[in-house]
Structure 1
Amino acid sequence: MQTSDTPAQPAAPRAAAFADFDLTPALQAALVELGWAAPTPVQAAVLPFVLGGHDVAGQAPTGSGKTAAYGLGLLQRIDPAENAVQVIVLVPARELALQVRDALRQLGKTTPNLRIASYYGGHPMRDERKAMENQMPHVIVATPGRLLDHLEQRTFVPNQLKVLVLDEADKLLDLGFQEEMATIVSRLPQRRQTLLFSATMPDKVLALVRSHLARPKVVNVDGGGAAGTAGAATLPENLLLRGHVVSAADQKPAALYHVISQPNAGRSLIFANTRDRVEELTRFLRGRGVAAEALHGKMMQPERDKALMKLRNGSATALVATDVAARGLDVDELDTVVQYDAPEQADTFQHRAGRTARAGAVGTAHLLVTPPEQAKLQNWPAAATVQWARLVPPALPAAAPKAPRPSTVSLHISAGKREKISAGDLVGAFVSVGGLERDAVGRIEVHEHYSFVAVPEAQAEAVLAKMQNAKVKGKKVKVAIVR
């Protein structure tokens, strides 16, 4: 990643433990609560430069821990006593905005009065504006379009900004946010720290580095791949890559059904290149008895939340998504990834495959390809470890089987964070009113104005009946099964 304008920097001294960094006691306490003792390679390489106040251009793969690498450094600089925006993190998609926001909140949970918010399209801007009027966040994580709307309407003035982060810069450019980013940067104080992170470093990202960063420290922890390419070493060692070669594209639906029907398939994430293909495959899988959900850019945010929630809590076993919608998606225990449509670029292949086998877990990433598609992918270093084999998928049954009943059912509750409802409040209500044992209450997700609770399928109807018009924290709520 060397250029004449951004020379490679000598590596910073590697810290063996987070305790070796000069972090605030509050941040150190958060790391202890999280059980984090030693930094990942990207954290060890990046954090000293961020703490030192340098601009940083970092190349790091998905799942490497880069959010904490820059997050700890920027949180160190926040003054919670100041009622002003001090950090802006720009991300390419709503899901990534939520993921980064939640990760920063975890790191800052022991820092008193710290406020972190996420802003993105797909829901009314007035809700964000009202929240800012009540209490200005110290950190904003946002998509470029929505942040620019706030700047133009002067809902906040960034005159006390200390740090700007451009996260997943390659995808920001791929999605055409060049003009918005240029306008945003032009409205920010020139005296600031700028941090840029990208999975790849093609020329357009290097141009962004030259335009917006001042004498940056350049960090590359991608395993030694060439700039602009995704090296195979960036993928987790515990990730199995399997390529299934079918004779023609019309065999792919049967091949997909065969792959995700295997006993060890578990929860599956399926990538398609277009929204129409996502909808088509979701209908196909549902018709074949698979509890499948769709995720794409035309869906409103509540529908996206519902689809992700159902995959996370086990009431759906497959999610069919476009690349943009799945950017930043983080699902625990995601066992299988299937690339139904062949990726156009090597970094897209890497991003998709890296959704599983995260944080030391084991996972399998499948590719469904025709012979011409295989010939293209075999030239990519990132695909060097793919185990290729011909696949003649079994014929689909003439009649669709009856859809299996999932082990859990998701319930929608008409109250959330704005109504001062917490996960603990919901657990208490489902135990005392709904009649569940405490350990029978499944995954809980609390959103701004609504919440989701997973309950055992066998008890769902009884719990639903008992919870109708129940009070949670003194507030009467409505409860419904999520279909």
Structure 2
Amino acid sequence: IVDCGFEHPSEVQHEAIPQAILGTDILCQAKSGMGKTAVFVLAILQQLNVDEKDTDVKVLIMCHTRELAYQIKNEFDRFSKYFPNVKNGVVYGGVPISDDKEMLSKAHPQILIGTPGRVLALVRGKHLDLSHVEHFVLDECDKCLDKLDMRKDIQSVFVETPVKKQVMMFSATMSKEMREVCKRFMNEPHEIFVDDDTKLTLHGLQQYFVRLAENEKNKKLTDLLDALEFNQVVIFVKSVQRAIALADLLTECNFPAIAIHSRLKQPSPP
């Protein structure tokens, strides 16, 4: 921890880590930048007992994007510097599943990070055994469980793990309804919530919203782009189709734009 430059825990780390290292189930909502990832990474490393002969997956962490999966892997790499026997691996869709099979059979990671669909495919193909899992984590759990198809994948994976295990779930935002969904996977979890909406925004970031009818959105967006001074703008939308259509519209309105979405081919991260 000292080598990574940490001196004092954040508020959420101070509250969550002592409970997490005891093996308690954790349900945690805290804004981005508060160090939620370090909570489960440190708690897991503190509890994990492996040697060079251990080839079973003991830890399963799932998240909704491969980019987040790699961020989590990087945190494990950083904090496991003095744990030479600890190995981790990442699996996700969009690349040949044969690559994942090879990684699992050769590297034998005790910590596996992945997206739900690919994890389930490996389980169903008998390439991944989850019967020794001791820690089950969902990062950005609201994103994972909000989509019904992804929730079904997670449920199917969950039942392949032992009944007795630690379950931890983390998110920056979580509705009361989503909390109840999360708790169905857990056993009397220690709950940590930031209820004040103003605390969910990082310091220095201003947010505004405009209430509009659906048919008014495009006009208002182009008016805002005309009025604002900017170098680059990122616009988030809810679907691939919307992203493509909006990029075409903005380009026609002399705002050069590209659409980035899940259907694009991506090179494998290093």
What TM-score results when the alignment is normalised by the length of structure 1? 0.50
Find the partner of 1:188 among 145, 157, 161.
161
Q: Which residue of 2 is the match for residue 212 of structure 1?
A: 185
Q: Secondary structure at the match of 1:241?
A: coil
Q: Secondary structure at the match of 2:78?
A: helix
Q: Do the aligned residues in 2 keep the contact of 1:170 with 1:200 (CA within 8 Å)?
A: yes
67-76 vs 244-253, which moves further:
244-253
Q: Counterparts of 2:226 and 2:51 in 1: how far apart (Å)?
A: 53
| Equivalent AA in structure 2 for residue 274 of structure 1 | S
Q: Do the aligned residues in 2 keep the contact of 1:164 with 1:192 (CA within 8 Å)?
A: yes
| Equivalent AA in structure 2 for residue 108 of structure 1 | S
Q: Map of 1:102-113 to 2, 5 A cutoff?
A: 102-113=74-85
Q: Do the aligned residues in 2 keep the contact of 1:91 with 1:167 (CA within 8 Å)?
A: yes
* Displacement of 1:253: 4.6
Q: Do the aligned residues in 1 keep the contact of 2:60 with 2:111 (CA within 8 Å)?
A: yes
64-73 vs 32-41, which moves further:
32-41
Q: Map of 1:221-370 to 2, 5 A cutoff?
A: 222=194, 224-225=195-196, 231-243=197-209, 248-258=216-226, 262=229, 265-284=230-249, 288=254, 290=256, 292-302=257-267
Paired-residue identity, %: 25
| Equivalent AA in structure 1 for residue 192 of structure 2 | V
* Displacement of 1:205: 3.3
Q: Do the aligned residues in 1 keep the contact of 2:132 with 2:161 (CA within 8 Å)?
A: no
* Displacement of 1:74: 0.8
Q: Map of 1:33-432 to 2, 5 A cutoff?
A: 33-78=3-48, 79-81=50-52, 82-176=54-148, 177-198=150-171, 199-209=173-183, 211-220=184-193, 222=194, 224-225=195-196, 231-243=197-209, 248-258=216-226, 262=229, 265-284=230-249, 288=254, 290=256, 292-302=257-267
> Can you list the C-alpha shifts for 1:155-188, whole angstroms capped at 9, x where unaligned?
1222322100122222222111232222212111
Q: Secondary structure at the match of 2:154?
A: helix
| Equivalent AA in structure 2 for residue 208 of structure 1 | C
Q: Do the aligned residues in 2 keep the contact of 1:59 with 1:201 (CA within 8 Å)?
A: no
* Displacement of 1:216: 1.6
Structure ranking higher on relative contact order (CA contacts 8 Å, 6+ apart): 2
CA 88–61 in structure 1, closer or farther in 2 if over 3 Å, else same: same
Q: Secondary structure at the match of 2:206?
A: strand
CA 280–51 in structure 1, closer or farther in 2 if over 3 Å, else same: same
> Can you list the C-alpha shifts for 1:204-259, whole angstroms capped at 9, x where unaligned?
431431x3212221222x1x34xxxxx12221231122456899434235335336
Q: Counterparts of 1:249 and 1:215 in 2: how far apart (Å)?
A: 44
Q: Secondary structure at the match of 2:3?
A: helix
| Equivalent AA in structure 2 for residue 47 of structure 1 | I
Q: Do the aligned residues in 2 keep the contact of 1:169 with 1:205 (CA within 8 Å)?
A: no
> Can you list the C-alpha shifts for 1:249-274, whole angstroms capped at 9, x where unaligned?
342353353366x2xx3553211233
CA 243–192 in structure 1, closer or farther in 2 if over 3 Å, else same: closer
* Displacement of 1:88: 0.4
* Displacement of 1:80: 4.7
Q: Secondary structure at the match of 1:278?
A: helix
Q: Counterparts of 1:161 and 1:246 in 2: how far apart (Å)?
A: 47
| Equivalent AA in structure 1 for residue 161 of structure 2 | L
CA 279–150 in structure 1, closer or farther in 2 if over 3 Å, else same: same
Q: Counterparts of 1:246 and 1:190 in 2: how far apart (Å)?
A: 47
Structure that is richer in strand per residue: 1
CA 57–279 in structure 1, closer or farther in 2 if over 3 Å, else same: same
